[in-house]
Amino acid sequence: EVQLVETGGGLVQPGRSLKLSCVASGFTFNNYWMSWTRQAPGKGLEWVASITNSGGSTYYPDSVKGRFTISRDNAQNTLYLQMNSLRSEDTATYYCTRGYYGDYWGQGVMVTVSS
């Protein structure tokens, strides 16, 4: 059974940093691209970052480019999202997803950016 379990969320002040983790199981992790997608409270879905299966290439929308970094440790079956210079508009539930478009999603982790 494919499982994606995100951790690392919480309350953080504007301008500070936070790192999310996603532990994957039930599939061969290094065969898949992985992505992060977020959802602000009561809002729609927004793609945040993607990484190739080797980790050699990463992709971001303009809204987070230069502030967020996606990475992976294939030996540990773990995906990461380093979030720097956080803003109030980054407040959302962050989902780890398998593949480029997301055939499996984690349960999500809440990030609240507030003073």
Partner 1 sequence: DIQMTQSPASLSASLGETVTIECRASEDIYSNLAWYQQKPGNSPQLLIYDANSLADGVPSRFSGSGSGTQYSLKINSLQSEDVASYFCQQYNNYLTFGSGTKLEIK
Q: Which residues bind partner 1 (CB under 8 A)?
A: 35, 37, 44-47, 50, 59, 61, 95, 100-108
Least separation in angstroms between CB 104 and partner 1:
8
Work out how close the CB of 61 gets to partner 1 at its nearest, in angstroms, rounded to a whole number.
Answer: 7
Q: Which residue, chain included where needed, has tokens 């982790």?
A: 109
Q: Which is nearer to partner 1, 35 or 78 (CB)?
A: 35
Residue 98, φ and ψ in degrees, nearest 5: -90, 135
Rank residues 82 and 104 by Cβ distance to partner 1 and give the closer one: 104
Q: Least Å distance between CB 81 and partner 1?
A: 15
Q: What is the rounded CA–CA span in Å between residue 113 and residue 94?
A: 13
> Cα torsion at 93, 25, 83, 102 (round to 10°)?
-60
Closest CA to 99 of 38, 32, 52: 32
CB closer to partner 1, 44 vs 56: 44
Taking the C-alpha atoms of residue 91 and residue 60, their distance in angstroms, rounded to an integer, is 17
Smallest separation, CB 87 to partner 1 (Å): 20
